[in-house]
Amino acid sequence: MLRRAGIPPILIGATALVLSACATPPQMHDEATLNQVATGCGLALGELMQDESEKRLLLMIHQDASPKQRVCVAKWARKNGLKTVFVNMQFPEEPTT
């Protein structure tokens, strides 16, 4: 009788454990870095932010962001292990005097 060659379950478990140790926790990016990314993507200063309690989320707060701006921010976020949240806010217009 031939024995079927397979991967032992202990090896699968050990491999999963080693690979999970490689996952790094999300990094908090400083305001200067986020502002540099924002201006590079055609946004204003302060329109990208990262919350300390949810480090994996990159918030983009911009009124009527173009698809090009969204793609730019999303690519940078993905490279840095972040999930992008697009917040479309309608800012009140300033009263005319």
Residue with tokens 């946004």: 43
- Residue 74 in any domain: the answer is yes
pLDDT of residue 27: 84
- Residue 7 in any domain: the answer is no
| H or E stretch covering 51 | strand 48-51
* pLDDT tens, residue order, the chain (97 aa): 555 556 666 656 656 655 555 556 678 999 999 999 999 999 999 999 998 888 999 999 988 899 999 999 999 999 999 999 998 777 677 777 7
Q: Which structure tokens are listed for 45?
A: 């200063």
Domain limits at 47? 26-87
- Residue 20 in any domain: the answer is no
The DSSP bridge partners found for residue 83 are: 57
Residue with tokens 């032992």: 8
CB atoms within 10 A of CB 11: 10
Cα 33 from chain centre: 14
- Residue 3 in any domain: the answer is no
pLDDT of residue 42: 96
Q: How many domains does the chain have?
A: 1
